[in-house]
Chains A and B, each alone.
Chain A
Amino acid sequence: MSVGVSVRVFARLKLRVLGNGLRGKGWRIALFVLGCVSGLWFAVVGFTVFALSAVDRGPAFGLLIPAFGGAFLVLGWLVIPVLWSGVDETLEPARFALLPLTRRTLVAGLLVAALLGIPAIATLVATSGLVVGAGARGGVLAAVVALVGVILGLLECMVLSRAVTSAFASLLRARRTRDLAAVALALVAALVGPLQVFGFAALQNTGADRLVRPAEVLGWTPLAAPYVVGFDAAAGRWLAVGARILITVATILLLMWWWSHSLASAMLGASSGGSVRARRRVEAGGPVAQLFPRLLRGAPRTAYGALVAREVRYWWRDARRRANLITFVAVALFLPLMSTVGFAKLTGQAGGPDGGPEGGPFLLSGAVLLVGSLAAIMLANQFGLDGTAYAGHLIAGVPGRVELRARAVGFSLYVVPTLVAVTLIVVAGTGRPGLGPSTLGGLLAAYGTGLAVNLVVSVLAPYSLPESSNPFAIKTGAGMAKSMLAMLAMGGAIVATLPVIVAAGFVPDAWSWVLLVLGTAYGVAAAGAGIAGAGRLLDRRAPEVLAAVTPGR
């Protein structure tokens, strides 16, 4: 079996799988078109930006766009598959485990299959703007060199994302390392925001001229090397062109070697659950006492109490939920820090004119609103998080109202302390203790309203998550559309909370306590109404919810 033939087989297989996925499903076709359109949008914008490198503004300007744009792109291919989109496992390596394929054939085949996707094609189109840019600066020869760079860059992106996710897959196979990885990744995700802020601050500090030096450094790393060769060729620096292409090719080969090795272990599949690890600590008491965490020792031993206990355990024990929770807490603590202490002090710049909090009440109110709403949005697909296990509640006949109240309460046991911590940060950041009660009131109002909306969304539009061991795997398709619905609903919730939040931002400190009472009452009343309404809905729709969260239907 020659390599060439096999690669064609892989490509055909990928297209066939994609085609079958679309067959007879209107909404899937619609989502595919949506994906194509957003890919096209990205491609056009990227192309324009990269083609701008042709504009002559100062000697080194042409370097900045390919260097930073290219590095941004490569980092995106590294981070995004792991954090958000999951890996496109249309052709899953484990499926090929039993076929007599050499590792080289498999790597080549999977690479070709990966190239046949919207993200890869969009990346190719976007970066080919560089070809135009180089051509405008240095003629045909420079354009050809840029084209070689663009193709090598695409290969590097593909191999990089595959190698990293494949290595991750084997890391995620054992539950112990998987949980660790989940926590680590959640922290990284949470830090993306702060890093951006510091990045922007640094940008403002330095100005474009001083960016040339980092751009030159980037150009000698695999991050941007393939994308700056066109610029070099246009300037006639052929030695640099050769060196950078060498760097890129070496990187690609190294990554392919790494990938083919991690592929071998990934092919064993994620099905083997790892070693059975008995927890040594034996807790006193019977099964019922074991179910309830120490925190809930006083909870009623009823269906409601059991549900709350299980929710509290799950937010910590389920890797996917824990990753969400950690991300939320990190963001929740960071946002108010930003809006009270401000960019300036955090980044060591000179503060505002009076050295006081930057942004004023608007920014703080916005942060409060966002934190409260973000908390609740984690429940938007709460049934999807449990998956088919929800059948257990259906069999036992749990009333919808009890179910939703317990879920809201269980989650709030994590959220409310976080909100209190947020309040303390705001007080410390502004140095105004009087702001504390009104801030907490605003947070609770936003959280309660968010709960009301998201509980309803969770019953109306649940979607299935793959029952894989990878806490980051998601399924594109229905999930995307439905999470957009959650976003829309969130907008409604934010509007409903605005009066309380605005009041919290502008009312004098003396009125602060009134706002705490008001905000709490507002939040509790909204959440109560949400529980009642969504509970009635759930009683009617429970089998439909189960069907929606069952994968593969």
Chain B
Amino acid sequence: MVGGMDTPALALRGLVKRFDTTLAVAGVDLDVAPGSFFGLLGPNGAGKTTTLSMAVGLLRPDAGRAFVLGHDVWSDPVEAKRLLGVLPDGVRLFDRLTGAELLAYTGLLRGMDPAEVDLRSRELLDVFALGAAGRTLVVDYSAGMKKKVGLACALLHAPRLLVLDEPFEAVDPVSGALIRDILTRYVHGGGTVIFSSHVLEVVERLCSHVAILTAGKITTVGTLDGVRGERSLEDVFVEVVGGRVATGHELSWL
């Protein structure tokens, strides 16, 4: 399905993943249109990380396929991975390198020209305010700094699609605003972003499209306005996910 203008930036077809006895992802279909800013929502344990890992080639699905701009991630990985930038969650970086070394390493691994790697790495370190860390190893970075250097690694080769797992977790408000600005500019420039998040406020502010994943299945998907209608995104999310948000007469002793 390599094709023209209306090829989805990311297309998932019937992704299934089972761990031992639990069905983590139970058949996910999703189309992310090019140029969209896509938010993937879901309660804890809904299978967001599992789905995104299968979409980018980190975790082999039990069934189903994933396409990046028409290239099958599992049968044509070279081209798919060239177009793709990934920020995985819960995965270590090569953290015995300094920030600059890590960026240089990532760039060279991707087969980029060394001069270009130098140029872009310096700029990214500046923009993310990581230059001051100097020769500090990434392992000694704070959680927020690790997120930022991970994001810088994902951006380095100017991918067409960014897949970000929890990019706003552990990030302070200033860095959060910076990341939002970078991603907004990236989408305006024709890129596509899909990210998972718990922070509905950020999703509401940024996204053009949202999908809600519950118990391994996509239960709601559409444009932000289409999904939320007249209500707030939180109300829709709570209704779809179906948890309780208020206490009755319990906990009276508290």
Q: Which residues of A contact B (CB under 8 A)?
A: 24, 175, 273-274, 276-283, 286-291, 301-303, 305-307, 309-310, 313-314, 317-318, 386-389, 391-398, 467, 543-544, 546-547, 553
Of A276, A393, A394, A467, the residue contacting B92 (CB under 8 A) is A467
Q: How far is the CA of A464 from the CA of B129 in the complex (A)?
A: 34
> Which of B34-42, B55-63, B208-216 lies at the binding interface?
B55-63
Find out whether the CB atom of A282 lies under 8 angstroms from the CB atom of B58: no
- What is the CB-to-nearest-CB distance from A324 to chain B, in angstroms, rounded to a whole number? 15
Give Cα A391–Cα B133 distance, bound, in whole angstroms. Answer: 24
Q: Assess whether B82 is in contact with A175, with CB atoms less than 8 Å apart.
A: no
Give the Cβ gap from A326 to chain B, nearest Cβ, in Å.
16
Which of B8-16, B93-101, B188-196, B229-237 lies at the binding interface?
B93-101
Contact across chains for A279 and B82 when beta carbons are under 8 A apart: no
Task: Find A396's partner among B97, B109, B139 (CB 8 Å cutoff).
Answer: B109
Cβ contacts B88-114/A at 8 Å (1 or 0 each)? 101111111110110111111111001
In this complex, what residue of B is CB-closest to A310? B105
* Cross-chain contact of A291 among B57, B86, B105, B110 (Cβ < 8 A): B105
Whether the pair B140, A397 counts as a contact (CB closer than 8 A) is no
Of the candidates B19, B60, B92, B118, the one whose C-beta lies within 8 Å of that of A388 is B92
Chain A residue nearest in CB terms to B21: A24
| Given A278-B136, A279-B134, A290-B98, also A394-B108 (CB < 8 A) | no
Contacts of B33 in A (CB 8 A): none
Q: List 18 A-B contacts (CB under 8 A).
A: A273-B140, A276-B133, A278-B134, A282-B135, A283-B135, A286-B118, A286-B122, A287-B117, A290-B98, A290-B100, A291-B104, A291-B108, A313-B96, A313-B97, A392-B94, A395-B81, A467-B92, A553-B19
Q: With A277-B140, A389-B91 as given contacts, are A543 and B104 in contact (CB-CB < 8 Å)?
A: no
Known: A24-B21, A287-B125, A290-B98. 17 other contacts (CB 8 A): A276-B136, A276-B141, A276-B142, A277-B140, A279-B136, A281-B135, A287-B101, A287-B103, A287-B117, A288-B104, A291-B100, A291-B105, A301-B108, A302-B108, A306-B109, A394-B58, A397-B77
Q: Give Cα distance in the complex from A239 to B134, angstroms.
A: 66
Chain A residues in 8 Å Cβ range of B250: none
Distance from A283 Cβ to chain B, minimum over Cβ atoms (Å): 8
Chain A residues near B103 (CB-CB < 8 A): 287
* Cβ–Cβ contact A276 & B101, under 8 A: no
For A395, give its contact among B20, B56, B117 (CB under 8 Å).
B56
Interface membership of B197, Cβ < 8 A: no
Residue numbers in B under 8 Å from A305 (CB-CB): 108
The one of A306, A389, A396, A553 in contact with B95, judged by C-beta atoms closer than 8 angstroms, is A389
B86 touches A395 (CB 8 A): yes
Given contacts A274-B140, A277-B136, contact A302 B111 (CB under 8 A): yes
A76 to B117, CA, bound (A): 52
